[in-house]
A and B are shown apart, each in its own frame.
Chain A
Amino acid sequence: MSESEAKSRSATPPSKAKQATPTTTAAANGEKKLTNKELKELKKQEKAAKRAAMKQANGISIEQQQQQAQMKKEKKQLQREQQQKREQKQKNANKKKQNERNVKKSTLFGHLETTEERRATILALTSAVSSPKTSRITAAGLMVPVVASALSGSNVLTASSLMPVGPNASSTVSASAPASTTTTLPASSAALSAGTSSASTNTPTAIQQEIASSNASDVAKTLASISLEAGEFNVIPGISSVIPTVLEQSFDNSSLISSVKELLLNKDLIHPSILLLTSHLAHYKIVGSIPRCIAMLEVFQIVIKDYQTPKGTTLSRNLTSYLSHQIDLLKKARPLSVTMGNAIRWLKQEISLIDPSTPDKAAKKDLCEKIGQFAKEKIELADQLIIDNASTQIEESTTIVTYGSSKVLTELLLHNAISLKKNIKVIVVDSRPLFEGRKMAETLRNAGVNVMYALITSLDTIFNMDVDYVFLGAHSILSNGFLYSRAGTAMLAMSAKRRNIPVLVCCESLKFSQRVQLDSVTFNELADPNDLVNIDYENPVERRGNKGALLNQFIKERKFEKKKLAMENKPKGNKIGGKKGSEGESKDASNEEDSNSKNILDGWQELPSLNIVNILYDLTPPEYIKKVITEFGALPPSSVPVILREYKGSA
């Protein structure tokens, strides 16, 4: 078909076709056998020519015709604009729906904090904390002002005409303020315009008060505007809008807003090293419950060193609450691991035990020393004891299955294979999307251990290979004996149990938790669902934390605007131009399709009934576990509460 069209076009250039006399078409007719389509086209052209001729005959000049055409075009443009408005409205409605979905979102995990929510909080905080600096990389990884069309601090800022946004799309959110700064957000997305009505109710002078307003989109706006406080404005059209939209999408939860508010109120108290740690944790640069705990303790040492007791209070009273603020932020990176929780509890107890009469300096030094000692005792020495104990279990020429990656297990296996020269075979089982096992398999292999690497889908085959033991690491062991560990552990333990293969867990007593829990759904940590979108065998999903999402959002909005621009330009151009535009669009569409075919689930957010579950942990019932090896020796999982009591007493 397209070929025939091309033919017809080459035979009679379309632009000229109007003026072309019927004779040429007749000539074309005579020259070629024409397909039906060509015939139709020719007839159309003929008609158009006739019409023109008729009009001319009616006394309408060509100029007048052009005028008419122009008018028609304008009319069309108007219509188009109206349509756009309508679309905008629809979009708003959609957004509302989406928000509803966000609430409904996980039929199973609705009660858990999603990564987006955490991300939004951190984003808000970091942008607030680092606001005095005009250009920086936020924790979100978003570089705000690059080639900013800086709008100096005038009282009222309107959306500049430079903005590639149609007048209907750009909304001015003005919180008019007489004395101090007024912020205006050039908002490309209509999302913000939704909030305009309530904006006037805000008291603009104090940002905190503004935050106090309960409207979600308001908060989002305010948060974005925080970075603009103190008179210095650096707004990039199109970019600054990214933050609020992202935020707004996530802030449909009132409790979240209030927690953010609280954090913002205390933002000045936060120590920079904590911010750094938060960002590391949020980006999964530090993973594993033990490394996370160690990192936190180290940062606490710095924080305590830098701590100055305010006047009118004592260290033992104030330090705890000061630390609490820091911890509140840490919690926003990822939920605290049990190890961290235990360490914090211990630290607070230590602080409360300090005699108020001790001078600050001595007390701080003492605390830092104690923290170091704690880390050494509870982690390093404990690991050593566990390894010694577990080594007795591993006989000559045994086959061991392990899951994911665990620090103490890696050390244990290396110790047995290398130092004790036992001929062991290790099967590392791994799973998507983290592929932590690759690291462990590589470490062991590089040390010369006989390693096999498999995925959790091949469990059946793995357990047919004469496996002697399953060794597991732990995130935590709960008070009712359940093992809380990397998702997939429970399945492995169950399979092993069904095949009468003993399951052993190596776990420092620091990981014992007071909590009780019955299944993996009630309490868990949700990771970024986008990690599962990409199917790539080469690279394990690179954990980009917030960066990718924001960037994507930005790119998306850019694209959207570009399209709109193209749409607006279209009517102005002549017909050929219009065609070109549409061609470009179709190209864009095909490009999009290309990227879609790369990852099938790209854009899954648009499908209201599609969700991706990416939970980090699961719960293994105690009946699957034969033995828990701790620094106190080997115990059945039912003895966890016993140790907990003991441990609490000793700490």
Chain B
Amino acid sequence: MSEFNITETYLRFLEEDTEMTMPIAAIEALVTLLRIKTPETAAEMINTIKSSTEELIKSIPNSVSLRAGCDIFMRFVLRNLHLYGDWENCKQHLIENGQLFVSRAKKSRNKIAEIGVDFIADDDIILVHGYSRAVFSLLNHAANKFIRFRCVVTESRPSKQGNQLYTLLEQKGIPVTLIVDSAVGAVIDKVDKVFVGAEGVAESGGIINLVGTYSVGVLAHNARKPFYVVTESHKFVRMFPLSSDDLPMAGPPLDFTRRTDDLEDALRGPTIDYTAQEYITALITDLGVLTPSAVSEELIKMWYD
């Protein structure tokens, strides 16, 4: 049996396919794990998955999204075992259909686009924070349907995902403008609606996303602009953070210890934040348009069925 490193596999999946989301990569990694390890008993399978999941979560600093994937996978395995006791069949199914999950995940994005396109009307000015494949596929779909709308894209520091989205929209021919993150407050009155993606959707219906989403959400709420989250349902995660402090992060949110002369390097702070459900108007998912409270129902359904 060759040495199998779950983290490497996970990262490799992400690298190979840029369209793949983190939860799917995690699921794929776990499927690969099963294929390679071929556990003999149900208990062994569960234990293998459990330990690998823990390992994976530990090794990746921003683990929210992949955690969602692991959750679903684990739950699926457990449920099948309990319900049917037919774990061999289940394993077989998982191993054989690895690729299918990936394609389904991608398809769910198309579904989101179809469902969400009604939210975009002619003459809308849409503010987008961060780069999300789901948001882009929605905007793309709307443009294909000849809806005339304009986009305001934030730079989304520190990852600068905004630049990526800007180029993509530019290529698509959608009128787009790039602003710095701190300018959101200044332009929010001119904007009609806000779209963001999510790394994970917490049980409360709040979302965990790229840092800055919270501030955008608060500003939108204050200006009474609708704030929509576009996300796949496999990003629903069993977490209930009360604030950004509760999120798993690499270091402390505020670091006062390190001294450096390089100003670029001096820039520290969290890279993700938590936006509570009261700022969210609706979640556009492949399961339909959900109110934040519907998220918890989906999660409850998954765990207590």
Q: Do chains A and B touch in the complex (CB under 8 A)?
A: yes
Complex: A20 Cα to B223 Cα, angstroms: 90
User: Contact string, A107-150, partner B, CB cutoff 8 A, digits 1/0?
Assistant: 00000000000000000000000000000000000000000000
8 A Cβ contacts from A495-550 to B: 498-500
Min CB distance B185 to A, Å, is 12
Q: Is B107 an interface residue (CB 8 A)?
A: no
Complex: A499 Cα to B223 Cα, angstroms: 7
Q: Is B12 an interface residue (CB 8 A)?
A: no
Q: Is B224 an interface residue (CB 8 A)?
A: yes
8 A Cβ contacts from B177-192 to A: 189
Complex: A500 Cα to B191 Cα, angstroms: 13
Complex: A103 Cα to B189 Cα, angstroms: 51
Count how many pairs of residues, one from A and one from B, have CB atoms less than 8 Å apart in the complex: 5
Taking CB atoms, residues of chain B closer than 8 Å to A500 are: 189, 223-224
Taking CB atoms, residues of chain B closer than 8 Å to A499 are: 224
Complex: A498 Cα to B224 Cα, angstroms: 8
Taking CB atoms, residues of chain A closer than 8 Å to B189 are: 500
Complex: A500 Cα to B224 Cα, angstroms: 8
8 A Cβ contacts from B44-102 to A: none
Min CB distance A623 to B, Å, is 14
Which residue of the partner chain A has the closest CB to B225?
A500
Which residue of the partner chain A has the closest CB to B222?
A500
User: Contact string, A631-650, partner B, CB cutoff 8 A, digits 1/0?
Assistant: 00000000000000000000
Complex: A344 Cα to B127 Cα, angstroms: 57
Min CB distance A395 to B, Å, is 15
Complex: A13 Cα to B224 Cα, angstroms: 80
Which residue of the partner chain B has the closest CB to A498?
B224
Complex: A500 Cα to B185 Cα, angstroms: 13
8 A Cβ contacts from B207-227 to A: 223-224
Min CB distance B127 to A, Å, is 15
Complex: A269 Cα to B189 Cα, angstroms: 62
Taking CB atoms, residues of chain A closer than 8 Å to B223 are: 500
User: Contact string, A201-237, partner B, CB cutoff 8 A, digits 1/0?
Assistant: 0000000000000000000000000000000000000
Min CB distance B282 to A, Å, is 19
Min CB distance B124 to A, Å, is 13
Taking CB atoms, residues of chain A closer than 8 Å to B224 are: 498-500
Min CB distance A460 to B, Å, is 13
Which residue of the partner chain B has the closest CB to A501?
B189
Min CB distance B298 to A, Å, is 32
Complex: A499 Cα to B224 Cα, angstroms: 7
Which residue of the partner chain B has the closest CB to A499?
B224
Min CB distance B184 to A, Å, is 15
Complex: A455 Cα to B224 Cα, angstroms: 24
Complex: A499 Cα to B189 Cα, angstroms: 10
8 A Cβ contacts from A469-505 to B: 498-500
Min CB distance A465 to B, Å, is 13
Complex: A500 Cα to B189 Cα, angstroms: 8
Min CB distance B190 to A, Å, is 11
8 A Cβ contacts from B194-244 to A: 223-224
Min CB distance B21 to A, Å, is 36
Min CB distance B196 to A, Å, is 21
Taking CB atoms, residues of chain B closer than 8 Å to A498 are: 224
Complex: A498 Cα to B223 Cα, angstroms: 8
Which residue of the partner chain A has the closest CB to B223?
A500
Min CB distance B38 to A, Å, is 61
8 A Cβ contacts from B113-153 to A: none
Min CB distance B222 to A, Å, is 8
Min CB distance A257 to B, Å, is 54
Min CB distance A17 to B, Å, is 78
Complex: A499 Cα to B222 Cα, angstroms: 10
Min CB distance A72 to B, Å, is 79
Min CB distance A258 to B, Å, is 53
Complex: A128 Cα to B224 Cα, angstroms: 61
Complex: A451 Cα to B76 Cα, angstroms: 63
Min CB distance A165 to B, Å, is 67
Min CB distance A273 to B, Å, is 54
Complex: A498 Cα to B225 Cα, angstroms: 11
Complex: A498 Cα to B189 Cα, angstroms: 13
Min CB distance A639 to B, Å, is 25
8 A Cβ contacts from A136-193 to B: none
Min CB distance B228 to A, Å, is 19
8 A Cβ contacts from A607-647 to B: none
Complex: A498 Cα to B222 Cα, angstroms: 9
Complex: A472 Cα to B293 Cα, angstroms: 41
Complex: A500 Cα to B223 Cα, angstroms: 7
Complex: A498 Cα to B221 Cα, angstroms: 11
Complex: A499 Cα to B192 Cα, angstroms: 12
Complex: A500 Cα to B221 Cα, angstroms: 12
Min CB distance B291 to A, Å, is 21
Which residue of the partner chain A has the closest CB to B188?
A500
8 A Cβ contacts from B247-288 to A: none
Complex: A615 Cα to B184 Cα, angstroms: 44
Complex: A329 Cα to B287 Cα, angstroms: 72
Complex: A282 Cα to B189 Cα, angstroms: 47
Min CB distance A248 to B, Å, is 55
User: Contact string, B170-182, partner A, CB cutoff 8 A, digits 1/0?
Assistant: 0000000000000
Min CB distance B123 to A, Å, is 11
Min CB distance A464 to B, Å, is 11
Min CB distance A23 to B, Å, is 87
Complex: A91 Cα to B189 Cα, angstroms: 64
Complex: A499 Cα to B225 Cα, angstroms: 9
User: Contact string, A255-279, partner B, CB cutoff 8 A, digits 1/0?
Assistant: 0000000000000000000000000
Complex: A544 Cα to B223 Cα, angstroms: 46
Which residue of the partner chain A has the closest CB to B189?
A500
Complex: A281 Cα to B280 Cα, angstroms: 54
Min CB distance B281 to A, Å, is 15
Min CB distance B192 to A, Å, is 11
Task: Identify 5 residue pairs between A and B in the complex whose beta-carbon atoms are under 8 Å apart, listed by A's number.
Answer: A498-B224, A499-B224, A500-B189, A500-B223, A500-B224
- The chain B residues found within 8 Å of chain A, CB to CB, are 189, 223-224
- The chain A residues found within 8 Å of chain B, CB to CB, are 498-500
Which 5 A-B pairs rank lowest in CB-CB distance, beginning with the nearest? A500-B223, A500-B189, A499-B224, A498-B224, A500-B224
